[in-house]
Amino acid sequence: MQHDVFSAKEEAQKRATHPTDQEIVEKALREGVETAWDRLEKQQPQCGYGQLGLCCNRCAMGPCRIDPFGEGPRRGVCGADADLIVSRNLLDDLAVGAAAHSDHAREVIEVLLETAEGRAQGYRLTDVEKLRSIAAEYGLDTAGKPDEEIARELALAMLEEFGTVKNRIQFTERAPEKTTAIWKELGIMPRGVDREIVGADHRIQMGVGADYTNVLVHALRASLADGWGGSMMATFASDILFGTPSPKTSTVNLGVLEADKVNVITHGHNPILSEMIVLAAQDPELLELASQKGAKGINVVGMCCTGNELLMRHGVPVGGSLLDQELAIATGAVEAMVVDYQCVFPSLAETASCYHTKVICTSEKAVVPGAVYLRFAPESALDTAKEIVRTAVENFPLRNPDRVKIPGEPASFTVGFSEESIRGALGGSYKPLIDAIVSGQILGAAGVVGCNNPKIKMDHGHVTLVSELIKRNILVVETGCAAYACGKAGLLRPEAADMAGEGLASVCKALGVPPVLHMGSCVDCSRILNLLAAVAKEIGVGIGDLPVVGAAPEWYSQKAISIGAYFVASGVNVVLGIPPKIFGSANVVELLASKLKDLVQASFAVEPDPLKAADLIESLIREKRKGLNI
Ligand code: XCC
Ligand code: SF4
């Protein structure tokens, strides 16, 4: 449906918070380009059974649903009750999310192996110091060996983490003893990445998992295999290949697109593709071709988490988050949107068909109908990347200048805080941070992570919550699309210290850092785990004792369920802004929202109102402070 000028403006203000996004939502509405918000509208009313988690479509005796009011069926055909159906559905979602992170890890590790063996085109070992220290952590003998040999052995050792023979995940040893003791006691020490995920799938097969508690306890185990296994390996293998991030300045919002350049957006999650696109865009031949086509250069722009990867390491500007993928196309200024996988709307090529934009898909796992498919393989990575950039450059003359609108000015932000660089900024130990927390200058910390979701006005949850937290002297770290929301709002600049409470502001000013630290992509939530583990070890406590909280105000993805669960399993309370589909079972809710606390020192809470969420987070932090007698 096409909107007139006034209704489009009004609607755009309901859908998005930032003026740059509002401008393009309005443009899309006026041009009749369908976006996720329109599709959400068409889905109303969404299925009530589904929302409560009470619908099961797992086997051919079904689909079954449980009547939440108790007058209709209480059990599915197989005999499953509400508790089991809800818990199985949740484990299903979680396992999918854990698989996504971990399969991404496997691809990066395979490239590490192929790089070590000289079979990957365009890649090199960048952080060899990290390579050697992690190899040593794995018990590999590094003395006198060339880097390539160590990388080969490390890659093979990491691939072992996926299997079922070794039965131990190396990086769990990074967790403080008190935390791992809890895992052992509860029987959730993850054994192997694939093993726990396959185990999850096995449990949800009809006739296996029948006890909702058992199903959910396994969910914790599978999530730990993601956080301390898959995701952590994805982060570290990427650091070895592409460098460990350090702080730098960049820009964010759709205003980073450039009117006179070829705009290439890299969207998805895996840096093995986007890193090569960045390289290819510097190729003199392609730059020459761009100038022949009338462009003043090639502008690579990140989107979603592959954007975070490039941002962390190279400061490549970012167009935005999940909900910006269609808006970026609707600017009319994008020559190519190159995607790998995850968070890529399946209808993206149809959106692009309204403009000259070419959607280029690159992974055999994520073939997008209507898109150009240029399969990306490590052996020919740079060649394919050049072909992709060439396709974009050749598309430049087809851009219709009358339909182009690049909104506003890009916002600047500071990015690239790896655990190592935070420790470095503090002078090599966490003591200054710990002292500031003990003295109360900093009350505690919150990890605000995750997506956008069209069910919430875009960025409103992130920005309101984070602004409120820093006012209360709560240091914030961010990953994923959350960082873009707050970056657009100016919260990731050192000057944002002025918006923080006095104590936090003075610490930030002394260190020259923002009150909101950008720690990377969603797999980089593992950097937060490492930060927490290092701080807890320095104090001599478990992660569950620290005055920290996790929050995902606008999450949508199954991956976010896995992330939330591994934080809770590691002892960090998690506050969600979007209710998970569990409210059809009072028992499941009670387990996740309260009983877990006795088992792992943390639980889940749901609070859609970001101001109330800030209250809740503050009280959870104060509770943990009390436990530490501070
Ligand atoms: Fe996707 Fe990772 Fe969520 Fe953003 S934050 S919508 S998962 S891109 Ni990861
Ligand atoms: Fe129905 Fe049970 Fe089959 Fe689910 S597993 S569809 S509840 S019969």
Q: What are the tokens at 530? A: 């490492």
Backbone φ and ψ of 95, nearest 5°:
-65, -35
Ligand nearest to the CA of 86: 2
Please give the pLDDT value at position 561. 98
Distances (CA, A) of 574 to 200, 426, 445, 577, 601: 22, 27, 12, 10, 11
Backbone φ and ψ of 347, nearest 5°:
-95, 15
* Residue 482 Cα: closest atom of ligand 1: 5
- The CB of 63 under 6 Å from ligand 2? The reply is yes
Contact 135, 150 (CB under 8 A): yes
pLDDT tens digits, one per residue of 413-436: 999 999 999 999 899 999 999 999
The best mutation among 49, 59, 202, 205 to test binding of ligand 2, ranked by most ligand atoms within 8 Å of the C-beta, falls on 59
Please give the pLDDT value at position 315. 98
Residue closest by Cα to atom 8 of ligand 1: 304
- The CB of 77 under 6 Å from ligand 2? The reply is yes
* Residue 522 Cα: closest atom of ligand 1: 9
Q: Find the Cα–Cα–Cα–Cα dihedral 621, 624, 629, 630, rounded to 10°.
A: -20
The residue type of 217 is V
* Residue 60 Cα: closest atom of ligand 2: 3
CA 496 – CA 488 distance, rounded (Å):
12
Residue closest by Cα to atom 3 of ligand 1: 451
Mean pLDDT of 474-482: 98
- Of 329, 409, 448, which is closest to residue 36 (Cα–Cα)? 329
The best mutation among 269, 270, 481, 578 to test binding of ligand 1, ranked by most ligand atoms within 8 Å of the C-beta, falls on 481
- The CB of 55 under 6 Å from ligand 2? The reply is no
Q: Residue 450 Cα, ligand 1 centroid: separation in angstroms?
A: 6
Q: Residue 163 Cα, ligand 1 centroid: separation in angstroms?
A: 27
pLDDT tens digits, one per residue of 613-622: 999 999 999 9
Backbone φ and ψ of 7, nearest 5°:
-65, -35
Q: Residue 411 Cα, ligand 2 centroid: separation in angstroms?
A: 50
- C-alpha neighbours within 13 Å on the C-beta side of residue 382: 12
**In which band, very low, low, confident or very high, does the pLDDT at 1 lie, cut at 50, 70 and 90?**
low
- Which residues, in sequence order, are bridge partners of residue 414? 249
* Residue 305 Cα: closest atom of ligand 1: 2
CA 515 – CA 500 distance, rounded (Å):
7
**What is the three-state SS of 481-496?**
HHHHHHHHCCCCCHHH
DSSP secondary structure of 268-279: SS-HHHHHHHHH
Q: Residue 55 Cα, ligand 2 centroid: separation in angstroms?
A: 9
- Of 474, 520, 515, which is closest to residue 495 (Cα–Cα)? 515
- The CB of 206 under 6 Å from ligand 2? The reply is yes
pLDDT tens digits, one per residue of 483-541: 999 999 999 999 999 999 999 999 999 999 999 999 999 999 999 999 999 999 999 99
* Residue 560 Cα: closest atom of ligand 1: 7
- The CB of 59 under 6 Å from ligand 2? The reply is yes
**In which band, very low, low, confident or very high, does the pLDDT at 5 lie, cut at 50, 70 and 90?**
confident
CA 429 – CA 513 distance, rounded (Å):
16
Ligand nearest to the CA of 458: 1
Residue closest by Cα to atom 2 of ligand 2: 78
Residue closest by Cα to atom 6 of ligand 1: 451
Please give the pLDDT value at position 2. 66
Please give the pLDDT value at position 226. 98
Name every protein residue with a CB atom under 6 angstroms from any ligand 1 atom: 269, 304-305, 321-322, 343, 450-451, 480-481, 522, 557, 559
CA 570 – CA 575 distance, rounded (Å):
15
Where do the DSSP E strands lie in 14-101? 55-56, 64-65
Ligand nearest to the CA of 558: 1
CA 170 – CA 190 distance, rounded (Å):
10
Residue closest by Cα to atom 3 of ligand 2: 59
The residue type of 191 is R
pLDDT tens digits, one per residue of 250-270: 999 999 999 999 999 999 999
**In which band, very low, low, confident or very high, does the pLDDT at 3 lie, cut at 50, 70 and 90?**
confident
CA 559 – CA 628 distance, rounded (Å):
32
- Of 566, 592, 614, 560, which is closest to residue 225 (Cα–Cα)? 566
* Residue 269 Cα: closest atom of ligand 1: 2
| Nearby residues of 492 by Cβ (< 8 Å), 6 or more positions away | 413, 414, 415, 478, 483, 486, 514, 516, 517, 518
- The CB of 370 under 6 Å from ligand 2? The reply is no
Place of tokens 């509208």: 41
Tell me the whole-structure pTM to 2 decimals.
0.98
- The CB of 78 under 6 Å from ligand 2? The reply is yes
Distances (CA, A) of 627 to 547, 574, 630: 9, 18, 8
Residue closest by Cα to atom 2 of ligand 1: 305
Share of the chain above pLDDT 70, in %: 100
Q: With 90 as the cut, is the pLDDT of residue 549 above it?
A: yes
Please give the pLDDT value at position 260. 98
Q: What are the tokens at 385? A: 């990347």
**In which band, very low, low, confident or very high, does the pLDDT at 4 lie, cut at 50, 70 and 90?**
confident
Ligand nearest to the CA of 60: 2
Residue closest by Cα to atom 6 of ligand 2: 62
Q: How many helices and strands (H and E) does the chain possess?
A: 27, 16
